[in-house]
Amino acid sequence: MLSVRGLSVRYGRSVGALEGVDVEVPGDGVLAVLGGNGAGKSTLLRAVSGTLGLYRGAITEGEISFDGDRIDRLDPAVVVRRGVVAVPEGRQVFARMTVEDNLRAGGLGAASAAARTAARRRVGELFPVLTERASQRAGLLSGGEQQMLAIGRALMSGPRLLLLDEPSLGLAPQMVGRIARIIREIHAQGTSVVLVEQNATMALQVADHAAVLEVGRIALSGPAAELAASEDVQRLYLGGHAESQAQADAEEAEARTHRGRRTLSRWVG
């Protein structure tokens, strides 16, 4: 469905953000893009969505195709009409507008009134809380509810490919799990997803395929299950080293306790 080939991106005249990036999203799949801060994850989504210019960025090499047609030279609004819709990082809802008005704004990109009605029904099924709070100002929602609204607003245009930028950022673990289940359901309903995440554990559980960006280049890519089993991914992104260290610290603390008890027994005895 989505093909990115040899993509290089710069901000201004000298700041290189991506260099020769190749990624693909199958026609029916979820691609997780992992990496630390500054790796180029958000830049990749901006390039696909056509919004690089808003951040003073530009594609210097490569091309992006969706369903076989190039989209890297299109206006962002045209990209949306082609079926590619992005949810930016940071839950950027229209805070002073009501929940329902936010959703109506998202529906402006729908193909028809019937499509908007069907999309609104879908959003209501995925996020019942948005229907319950339809008349409430979006800025008064909790962080997790605002994230639901941001995703719901994007779904109102009926996308075939949804670009999610750090949807779990700043959310409590319980809400992260809920967002993960919602992403699975969106995919099950026929929408492909590109999921940019620092929460690698969540992302690899949701995704079919994954790619790791390091300093603007693809360092690893392949089936999500294979990357989850990779020692490098476990060490760098899944906390394998931290867990091993925590276990070693616990064992050392237990050993110190036993030594202390033996010493105390000798003094008391």
Q: Per the domain annotation, does 100 fall within a domain? A: yes
Whether residues 37 and 139 fall in one domain = no
The identity of residue 186, as a single letter, is I
Strands (DSSP E) contained in the chain are 2-11, 15-25, 30-34, 57-66, 69-70, 84-87, 161-165, 192-197, 209-214, 217-223
Residues sharing a CB contact under 8 Å with residue 245, sequence separation 6 or more, in sequence order? none
Q: Per the domain annotation, does 88 fall within a domain? A: no
198-212: b (≥16 Cβ within 10 Å) or e: bbbebbbbbbbbbbb
Whether residues 222 and 267 fall in one domain = no
Q: Which of 105, 129, 159 is the last residue of a domain?
A: 159
pLDDT in tens, 6-25: 999 999 887 899 999 999 99
pLDDT in tens, 49-82: 999 999 999 999 999 999 999 999 999 999 999 9
pLDDT in tens, 134-181: 999 999 999 999 999 999 999 999 999 999 999 998 899 999 999 999
Whether residues 148 and 175 fall in one domain = no
Dist. CA 141–CA 146, nearest whole Å: 6
Tell me if 152 sits within 8 A of 130, measured CB to CB.
yes
> How many structural domains are present in the chain?
3
Structure tokens at 267: 């003094």
Whether residues 72 and 205 fall in one domain = yes
Whether residues 63 and 149 fall in one domain = no
- What is the DSSP secondary structure assignment for residue 54, as one 8-state letter? G
Predicted TM-score of the model (pTM): 0.85
Query: Which structural domain range is residue 229 located in?
Result: 1-83+161-238
Whether residues 37 and 138 fall in one domain = no
Whether residues 45 and 137 fall in one domain = no
